[in-house]
Amino acid sequence: MGHYDLPWLVQNAATAVVATALLSILIASYLYLRGSNQVPDTDNPSTQPGDHPILKNHSSHKAFKTPFANYGSIRTFYRPHAHKEKLAAIADLPLLVFVHGLGGSLAQYGPLLNSLVNIAPCFGIDLPGHGLSRFSPETPDGYSTSALKVLWRTAIQDICEQHGHKKVVLIGHSYGCSIAALLAVDSRFTVEVAGIIAICPKAAPPTQPETLKYKVFLSLPDSWLSAFRWWDKRGGVNSTSVNRFVGEGAGIDLRRLQLRYNAAFKTPVWKRTAMGALPEYDARGHAIGGIPGQEAWSKIRVPLFLVAGEADKVTKPSELAEIVSFLHKPGKSLPGFTKSDPVPTAATTPPPPSDETTGLAPNLTTTRTLSSSVLKTATLPFPAAHALLYDHRTYRTVAGLIEDFLSSHVSPHLSLGWQLQQLTTTGKWDVKNLEKWQRTPAVSGPIANNLLRGLKTLREQDTEHTPSKFVAKWKDTIYAVIDISHDAPVYSTRTLEEGGIQYHKFPTVSKIPPTPTEVADFIALVDRLRAEMEAKDNTEAKKAVAVHCHYGFNRTGFFICSYLIERRGYGVQEALDAFREAKPPGIRHDHFVDALWVRHTVGLKRAPTLKLDDSEG
């Protein structure tokens, strides 16, 4: 819940006096119901939504000091390109910087990171009080748009200096687009901005009367604002606050996720950041500070890609047209691109199974700005809403559009195909122990009536087990591939997606049995995929979810057996036998088998480990 929620929270209050009267009633109801536990929290949204594995494995906390404030503990994510040393001599890849929105977090970029970490180094932070960053400072000075821009500027310059990056591409969502625009025109920003991708952007600040109304509202005590937010969240997953972001037709998994995002954003942080996003108006009616408008957008001199969702009620698609009007040079469409042209991505081939048949073919335009930079727009049709970057129905289309924009208009070196070609021709990109890999069967037999299958990793330059041939042979049998290897894939995942087989990265460490948390997350992912398949038609429901590590025996077998035990009621030995029969010789490492037995032995009781003093012998 962010600054863009304010119209919904105050639209029925004709004046602050009326709002105050209503609040008295609301607060009484809120405190009574909360104290008497008459409103059970069935979805338990109070915990922070779990991070994507890529974020978990590459995050730390860092303190930043700026002229505005000291930020004590900012969650910082940095993931270098998997082949940075191998590509360094032939490609100068820009750093992709992910700027989340007001009330958002880096976790919302998790689905996009699945694809984008394979083409460039990636970086981002959680704003103070957002995501996993500490709410520090608590004074309002550190939460103005100007202050947050400087925080971002400091963080980006630090990471670029540390790792030698010379250029960045700013990828913003919602309020994050406003910060990205300000960074791009900031004369004190010492890093070159090579491009901007603005997802669900806001073109201009609220008007002077709107700003006054919002400031009156936000000046109310935190407890009163919490009461309004509580009222807005009545209904849980079906509440107004959830529908606003995900749209009316969203599935239950997305609704639960959005409810948790909303609940994780606390009122004191929301109040300070939303107030900081509002401008001051001078005597001539000019906005100063806060969300930028024409003055900032019109100065952008780099390739710009604007993305919107047709069903977005928070930042409507019309915002794109307004930004275009600030920049557009009439009559200068680029050759080969018109509004009706197909998109050279997964959006124009048979759609990836994760996306519904609606919402996949965005309206695209590519033109020149007044400064001769590229200006590209895309509006994803209904049901694409404000959550489109983490909505399972849309995020793959968004990822494909971003990849095309980066390789076509920022740098050809950002093409995964180009990178794979360079690595394969130089022998720098291949499987470990090729002879052993070649001796390993490619695909297991069906497990649990074709519920699951085990694979060895695909290999781009192989004559048989390559993505294109895999799609041709298995697209009618396999719905999705879950890659549990820790390293970047040695094949083009996009070939799978464009061929109609989903790809999901779920990195785990080799030689070590998966942790209980990893197993729980894996099971949740398979459950979601199975529900998605069953919601379509009988043909899709009969397909398998395939899993691979490197050879497809130990980690793959452990996850598959765990799923059979926890979801299908198999005994431990029964699950081990089922996997061994489908993919002989089954799990090879004894310590993986032992761990599986320990996890699932019924009635096993383990006391906590005690540390004895020397005096105790």
What is the 3 state secondary structure string of 221-236? CHHHHHHHHHHHCCCH
User: And the tokens for 180?
Assistant: 């990205």
Q: Per-residue confidence at 429, pLDDT binned at 50, 70, 90? A: low
Residue 382: per-residue pLDDT: 87
> Is pLDDT above 90 for 33?
no
pLDDT in tens, 161-198: 999 999 999 999 999 999 999 999 999 999 999 999 99
C-beta separation of 453 from 582 below 8 A: yes
State the pTM of this model. 0.73
> Is pLDDT above 60 for 328?
yes
Residue 481: per-residue pLDDT: 96
**Over residues 392-412, mean pLDDT:** 88
Helix (H) or strand (E) holding 294: helix 294-297
> Is pLDDT above 80 for 10?
no
Helix (H) or strand (E) holding 327: helix 318-327
Query: Which domains does the chain show, CATH number per domain?
Result: 3-48+214-281 (no CATH), 53-206+290-416 (3.40.50.1820), 434-600 (3.90.190.10)
Residue 494: per-residue pLDDT: 87
**Over residues 154-159, mean pLDDT:** 98
pLDDT in tens, 207-259: 999 999 999 999 999 999 999 899 988 999 999 999 999 988 888 889 999 99
pLDDT in tens, 95-118: 999 999 999 999 999 999 988 998
User: And the tokens for 43?
Assistant: 């979805």
Lowest mean pLDDT among 74-78, 332-336, 471-475, 514-518: 332-336
Residue 601: per-residue pLDDT: 65
> Is pLDDT above 50 for 17?
no
> Is pLDDT above 60 for 593?
yes
**Over residues 66-90, mean pLDDT:** 89
What's the chain's average pLDDT?
A: 83
* Whole-number Å distance between alpha carbons of 508 and 10: 47
> Is pLDDT above 70 for 457?
yes
Which range among 15-24, 418-427, 537-546 has the greatest average pLDDT? 537-546
Residue 372: per-residue pLDDT: 53
Residue 602: per-residue pLDDT: 56
Cα separation values, 487 from 80, 457, 490, Å: 12, 11, 9
> Is pLDDT above 80 for 15?
no
Directed axis angle between helix 572-582 and helix 554-568, to 10°?
Answer: 130
For the chain, give the percent of residues with pLDDT over 90: 57
Residue 543: per-residue pLDDT: 94
User: And the tokens for 613?
Assistant: 């003093």
Of 462, 515, 461, the residue nearest 484 (C-alpha): 515
Between 265 and 156, the higher pLDDT residue: 156
Rg of the chain over all Cα atoms, to the nearest angstrom:
25
Lowest mean pLDDT among 14-23, 34-43, 321-330: 34-43
C-beta separation of 334 from 295 below 8 A: no
* Whole-number Å distance between alpha carbons of 193 and 167: 6
Lowest mean pLDDT among 269-283, 284-298, 391-405, 540-554: 391-405
Residue 258: per-residue pLDDT: 93
> Is pLDDT above 60 for 580?
yes
Lowest mean pLDDT among 255-259, 539-543, 553-557: 539-543
**Over residues 500-523, mean pLDDT:** 89
Residue 52: per-residue pLDDT: 82
